[in-house]
Amino acid sequence: MSDIIQLLPDHVANQIAAGEVVQRPASVVKELLENAIDAGATSIKLLLKDAGKTLIQVIDDGKGMSATDARMCFERHATSKIQKAEDLFNLSTKGFRGEALASIAAIAHVELKTKQENEELGSCLKIEGSKVVSQDFISTSKGTSLAVKNLFYNIPARRNFLKSDTVETRHIIDEFQRVALAHPDIAFLLHHNNNEVYHLKNGNLRQRIVAVFGTKMNEKLVPINEQTDILNINGFVAKPEFSKRKRGEQFFFVNDRFIKSSYLNHAVVNAFDGLLEQGSHPSYFLYLTVPANTIDINIHPTKTEIKFDNEKALYSMLRATVKHSLGQYNVAPVLDFNRDANLDTPYHFNKNNTKASTPKITVDPDFNPFKEDVKPKQISSPYKREQNTQSWETLYTSVSNHQTEKQEELFENQPETKTQKTFQIQRKYVMSLIKSGVVLIHQSLAHQRILYEEFLESITVKEANSQQLLFPVKISFSSQEIEMIYTIKTELENAGFSFDEFTKDSVTIKGIPVSVTESKITIILEELLNDINLEVPDTSFSHFDVMAKSFAKTLSIKTGTQLSEQEQESLVNNLFSCKEPTVSPTGKATFKTLTLNEIDNLFNS
C-alpha cells in the first residue's frame, strides 16, 4: 500500500494556523498592539476602516526592526522571545509563539514599514497571501507601521461569517480597552473611518480608567492595594451602588496581561457579599503581579486564560484585600452602626492640661418627706375596672357564644363565592384551570412576550406615546456608548424617548415612553446597549426588533414577584391574546399544558 501522509505546503499551514490566531479583525488588533508594546513604544496609533475589514494599521515609535528581522518576522514560529522550552515558564512579554504575523500575512495584504533609531533608512515589505511581493529600503521615522488590508480576501467563507460593522467594531474596542488599561504609561490613539474614538494620554491608572470610561467613573472608584511575598494587588473596584445588571466593566490583569478567570471573579463577588442587590455585578479593575515562573500562560490559543501554581491562596488574598478596602473606605457597613458620635472624645482633648470637672450636686435643705401626708394622684383612664367580679364567668360565656355565631356566619350563612381559576406557584409560575387539565405559565417569559408585541407594535405601527419629564435626566456613559446611542437615536425616538443634548460622556433625556418609569431609564439603556453589543442586525426593522426584545426583558415582571388573583388572570388573558403566545421573544416556551390523562398517569405509573 502506498504512503498517504504528506507535509502540508507552508501557505496552507499558515491558513490553518490563521484559523486559530485570527478569528476576527479584533484578533489582528490585539496581536499588533501587543507587538508594539513589546517593541518599547511610548505612543501607539490604531487606524481602522470598515471595522477592520478594509484596513487595520498600527503605528508605533518603538525600537523598530532591521531589514533581516523585517523579513524573518513573517516566518512561522520565528520569535526573539524564547530560545528553549523552559523559557515558556518565565515569560515577561506579550507575544512569544511567533505565529501571529505569519498567520495574518496568509489571509490579508500586509505592508510593513520599520526603521531602527541608529539606521539611516528603513525597510518596506509587502506580502499578499504569504507571498512576498516586494522588499525595499525607504525613508521613514523610527518605529514600525504595519497595515493589514482586505482581511480574509482569499477566504471568502471566513469573511462571510463576520458580523456587522457595529459588532466587529465593538470587539475591536474591547481589545483596545484591555491593552490600553494594562499600560497607562503609553499614549494611545484610535481612529475609525477618519473619526477619532479615543485619544488617551499617558498617565496613572486612575486617569486611564477615567479617560476610557468617562469622567463619571472617577467618583465610583475605591482603591485596592496589597503587597505580599507571593502576590501584589492594586487597582480599583466600583462602589456597590454603581453595580450593573450585566458583567461589563470587569478587568483582571496578571503581569500586565488581560485574563479571564471565573475563579478569581468569584473571589471579588464574594467580597461584596451583602452589599449588592440580587442580580447585580460589581465593576473592578484589578492588577495582579506574581512571579513569572508561578504561572503558565500557554494553555489557551488567545492567551486569556492562565494557570496559577496556588489558586487557593490567590483567592483568599484577593477576597480579603477587596473586603478590607471596602471597609477601610467606609463602603461596607460597620458593626457599630448605632454609635453616637457625641460620645467620642474630641481630638483636641489633652489629659495633661485639661481636667474633667467634678459635677456638682444640689439639694433642697427645706425638703421634708414627713411634713405632710401626700396622696398619690389619681390617673384618669378610659378603661375602668369593674368592681363587681362575682359574675366574671359570664364574660367567657358571652365570648364563646359570640365566637359560635361568627363561625356559623362564616361557614353556613356565607353566600357562594366565585371559584378561583388561577394560582401562583413559588412566585414563578401561574397555573390556570382549563377543561382538559391545567396550563402552567412562566410568568416572566409570558410577560416578556406581551410587552414585546406591545413595544413592537407601538414602535413600527403606531405613533409611540411619550411623557415629558419635569426635570430632564442626565446620564453618563462612555464615549463609545454615547456614539452607539446616537446611531440608534431615531429608533429610540420612535419608541417614545426624547433627547435634549449629547456630549462626549453624557446624554440628557427629556421624554420617555409612557410604559417606562424615570427610575428605570438608566437600566433600560444599559440593557439595550448590552444587547446591541451582542448582535446588531443590519436592517432597520431588526433594530426595532432588538429594541423591543431588550425593553420587554428589562421591564417584565421577574421571578419572585407576588401577583394578585386579578393580575394573574390579566397575565393569562393578555398572553393568549398575543399573536405568538407559545414562545418568548428569545424563543423559550411560555407555558406547558398538562392534561387530566397525563396527571392520572403520574399516579398510575
Give me the CATH number covering residue 560.
3.30.1370.100
Per-residue pLDDT of 67-90, as tens digits, reads: 988 888 888 776 665 555 555 555
Per-residue pLDDT of 324-348, as tens digits, reads: 988 887 665 544 444 454 544 454 5
Q: Which residue, of 140, 172, 200, is where some domain finishes?
A: 200
181 DSSP 8-state letter: H
Let me know if residue 304 belongs to a domain.
yes
Residue 536 has pLDDT above 60, yes or no: no
Helix segments in 443-520, DSSP class H: 443-460, 479-487, 489-495
For cell 419608541, name the residue.
Answer: 495
Q: Tell me whether strands 284-289 and 250-254 are parallel, antiparallel or unpaired.
A: parallel
Q: Which residue, of 293, 309, 328, is where some domain finishes?
A: 328
Claim to verify: residue 141 and residue 228 sit in the same structural domain = no
Rounded mean pLDDT of 532-547?
60
Terminal Cα-to-Cα distance of the chain (whole angstroms) = 60
Claim to verify: residue 176 and residue 225 sit in the same structural domain = no
Let me know if residue 369 belongs to a domain.
no
Which segment of 184-188, 299-303, 564-568 scores lowest on mean pLDDT?
A: 299-303
Please give the residue range of the domain that contains residue 463: 429-591
Q: Quote the pLDDT of residue 363.
A: 73
Q: Quote the pLDDT of residue 85.
A: 58
Residue 493 has pLDDT above 70, yes or no: yes
Per-residue pLDDT of 400-409, as tens digits, reads: 555 555 444 4
Are 150 and 54 in contact by the 8 Å Cβ rule? The answer is yes
Separation CA 41–CA 241 (nearest Å): 38
- Give the CATH number of the domain where residue 17 resides: 3.30.565.10
Are 447 and 556 in contact by the 8 Å Cβ rule? The answer is yes
The C-alpha cell of 252 is what? 483582571
Claim to verify: residue 32 and residue 123 sit in the same structural domain = yes
Confidence band of 395 (pLDDT split at 50, 70, 90): very low
Separation CA 527–CA 425 (nearest Å): 28
Strand partners, 447: none
416 DSSP 8-state letter: P
Residue 28 has pLDDT above 90, yes or no: yes
Let me know if residue 74 belongs to a domain.
yes
Q: Which residue, of 328, 347, 370, is where some domain finishes?
A: 328
State pTM to two decimals: 0.66
Confidence band of 385 (pLDDT split at 50, 70, 90): very low
Claim to verify: residue 478 and residue 508 sit in the same structural domain = yes
Give the percent of the chain with pLDDT over 90.
27
Q: Quote the pLDDT of residue 503.
A: 84
Separation CA 570–CA 558 (nearest Å): 16
Separation CA 53–CA 94 (nearest Å): 24
Rounded mean pLDDT of 162-167?
84
The C-alpha cell of 249 is what? 466593566
Claim to verify: residue 192 and residue 219 sit in the same structural domain = no
The C-alpha cell of 379 is what? 390617673
Claim to verify: residue 170 and residue 237 sit in the same structural domain = no
Separation CA 375–CA 395 (nearest Å): 34
Residue 206 has pLDDT above 90, yes or no: yes
Of 60, 74, 80, 87, residue with least CA distance to 143: 60
Are 65 and 116 in contact by the 8 Å Cβ rule? The answer is yes
Claim to verify: residue 532 and residue 503 sit in the same structural domain = yes
Rounded mean pLDDT of 568-590?
89
Claim to verify: residue 54 and residue 193 sit in the same structural domain = yes
Domain count across the chain: 3
Q: Quote the pLDDT of residue 384.
A: 46
- Rounded to 5 degrees, φ, ψ at 220 are -90, -15
Let me know if residue 477 belongs to a domain.
yes
- Is 428 or 358 the better-scoring residue by pLDDT? 428
All residues at 6 or more sequence positions from 249 whose CB lies less than 8 Å from its CB, including other chains: 213, 238, 283, 284, 285
Rounded mean pLDDT of 264-276?
88
Amino acid at 289: T
Q: Quote the pLDDT of residue 362.
A: 74
Residue 377 has pLDDT above 70, yes or no: no
Claim to verify: residue 152 and residue 245 sit in the same structural domain = no
Claim to verify: residue 28 and residue 57 sit in the same structural domain = yes
Let me know if residue 352 belongs to a domain.
no
Q: Tell me whether strands 250-254 and 257-259 are parallel, antiparallel or unpaired.
A: antiparallel
Confidence band of 544 (pLDDT split at 50, 70, 90): confident
Claim to verify: residue 94 and residue 182 sit in the same structural domain = yes
Claim to verify: residue 176 and residue 151 sit in the same structural domain = yes
Residue 465 has pLDDT above 80, yes or no: no
Confidence band of 356 (pLDDT split at 50, 70, 90): low
Which segment of 201-210, 221-230, 323-332 scores lowest on mean pLDDT?
A: 323-332
Confidence band of 418 (pLDDT split at 50, 70, 90): low
* Helix or strand (DSSP H, E) at 573: helix 565-575
Helix (H, G, I), strand (E, B) or coil at 312: helix
Let me know if residue 75 belongs to a domain.
yes
Rounded mean pLDDT of 392-399?
50
- Is 187 or 530 the better-scoring residue by pLDDT? 187
Helix (H, G, I), strand (E, B) or coil at 223: strand
Per-residue pLDDT of 116-146, as tens digits, reads: 998 999 999 999 988 889 999 999 999 999 9
Are 297 and 264 in contact by the 8 Å Cβ rule? The answer is no
Let me know if residue 496 belongs to a domain.
yes
- Give the CATH number of the domain where residue 222 resides: 3.30.230.10
Separation CA 28–CA 148 (nearest Å): 8
Let me know if residue 346 belongs to a domain.
no
For cell 471566513, name the residue.
Answer: 158
Are 434 and 423 in contact by the 8 Å Cβ rule? The answer is no
- Is 294 or 264 the better-scoring residue by pLDDT? 264
Strand partners, 508: 474, 501
- Is 88 or 574 the better-scoring residue by pLDDT? 574
